[in-house]
Structure 1
């Protein structure tokens, strides 16, 4: 720790682990703000299915990168790194501590470590892969990704077609897996970084996920997704909680099955998030109730 520098406190962890509440408690204690690193909460049109902080929670402390973009606007992890670093520079002019919270490991890494510039792929490769997706579905592309880049396969959200196609196009264009473009040495940031991971027993986490999905349905998730059907071609909507209900509206499944699949796929997503975060040796794991105590010390 360089005590002359400001500090970014990161609250990471799987979905439904209590990141929002922990981040707000920390922000209130340090009289500061929360920067979201959740790749779905950026989008204004997606609220219930992304478990955004409630209006009451948003009113307690200032939040950034919540409702900041539209699903119609391309917004990559590289864009987040650039915009996020500019924002932090501005925030640290008046604050010694800023809280970052989210479950998107790639986006947290973008701020805390940075990335090598990824090569530009031939548009023809992307078009061909998109055609394969439309014809054969995502499973075949997922299996190919597992063959050529098992590291990325085991860390990324492979249910997101955009991520899978991007990884495959980089491999086909260069012969190198996308995971090889991580920096061997992280970018030096002009602030201290402390990372906390929220640790819950697996059964408790899965129970929280199942109950959260039930609450989402009660709060109107089905209507939210129905209103987004005309926009379903946008990549932001290729995500858990939305894809399953699109299949319901297409008549591919019934509503009870769709809800059960949302729960199942969310649990699988949480497992992948944990796999990602467990590999980060800088994360201090603690229960949600212990994070504030540790941060104060």
Structure 2
């Protein structure tokens, strides 16, 4: 039987090292489902694994696309499915690793089949342009508080999609999404790395400091011409843009990156808690976590 093993978890939880160790044990490949690690231009701010960290394990969807052509969940679903079918010809397992729950679900369950209407979407895009993202956030809060509380409300694409669906159907996105429960395409084992909150926050704070030391500001400068693109309107990049524009100090930028990353991690965990049959792993040594995973898989 061909099986997919998902290694999920919030940012800075140690997914990469665990996935690599597992891939070496099972002699299989890794598909990244991190929505920012696709892009060749972004490395430091996305905590993209280095060649050394990947330890010669084949990784797909890392450095696979240009930021000039952002990859949607639907496009990822199509391309990743093709890769899965190719890999399953020679491998019994594939490891899917990432913190982007929407992209993991796109591959495992399929993207939502909820309706689209270009005219409605254009209307909300115009509202965004004329009135700003805060206006959309308040609209979503008023009509769909459950989704507002778990969504990345700084991401206009997510806001507009939820507003579009509500306007077309008259029902909140959070309610319709619950009704749209799908079975996984493949035999799937879903693991979530679950650090105690204070430990996770400490890991996040230290990771941000390392990003700054490794040249995050220089990476953002190199990508200033792309500042209007969605992948750069995200944690770690938008704060540095504010610093480069003279709006905040470097110290404040670091504080904000740490704070916004902690908030993002909280939203990730909210998403993963809704995954049926997910196995939550308390981090210990890599060997101990591998034993836990393999005892479930095998």
The answer to whether residue 63 in structure 2 is matched with residue 63 in structure 1 is: no
Over 3 Å counting, the alpha-carbon distance change for 1:165 and 1:184 in structure 2 is closer
CA distance in 2, matches of 1:129, 1:252: 28
The answer to whether residue 99 in structure 2 is matched with residue 103 in structure 1 is: yes
Offset from partner CA, 1:233-266 (integer Å, 9 cap, x none)? 1111111001111111222211111111000000
Are the counterparts in 2 of residues 197 and 286 from structure 1 also a CA contact under 8 Å? yes
Structure 2 match to 1:88: 84
CA distance in 1, matches of 2:236, 2:160: 21
CA distance in 1, matches of 2:272, 2:183: 19
What secondary structure sits across from 1:26 in the alignment?
helix
The answer to whether residue 219 in structure 2 is matched with residue 224 in structure 1 is: yes
Query: Could you tell me how far 1:188 is from its partner in structure 2?
Result: 4.8
Using the size of structure 1 for normalisation, the TM-score is 0.92
The answer to whether residue 242 in structure 2 is matched with residue 244 in structure 1 is: no
Following TM superposition, the consecutive aligned residue runs of length 4 or more in structure 1 with deviations greater than 6 angstroms are: none
The answer to whether residue 29 in structure 2 is matched with residue 7 in structure 1 is: no
RMSD: 1.8
Query: Could you tell me how far 1:131 is from its partner in structure 2?
Result: 4.1
CA distance in 1, matches of 2:90, 2:16: 23
Query: Could you tell me how far 1:210 is from its partner in structure 2?
Result: 0.3
CA distance in 1, matches of 2:39, 2:173: 26
Query: Could you tell me how far 1:227 is from its partner in structure 2?
Result: 1.2
Are the counterparts in 2 of residues 37 and 108 from structure 1 also a CA contact under 8 Å? yes
What secondary structure sits across from 1:196 in the alignment?
strand
Query: Could you tell me how far 1:197 is from its partner in structure 2?
Result: 0.6
Q: Which runs of 5+ in 2 are unaligned?
A: none
Matches within 5 A, 1:90-239: 90-123=86-119, 125-179=120-174, 180-181=176-177, 184-189=180-185, 191-239=186-234
Are the counterparts in 2 of residues 39 and 107 from structure 1 also a CA contact under 8 Å? yes
Using the size of structure 2 for normalisation, the TM-score is 0.91
Over 3 Å counting, the alpha-carbon distance change for 1:116 and 1:275 in structure 2 is closer
Are the counterparts in 1 of residues 9 and 268 from structure 2 also a CA contact under 8 Å? yes
Over 3 Å counting, the alpha-carbon distance change for 1:287 and 1:16 in structure 2 is same
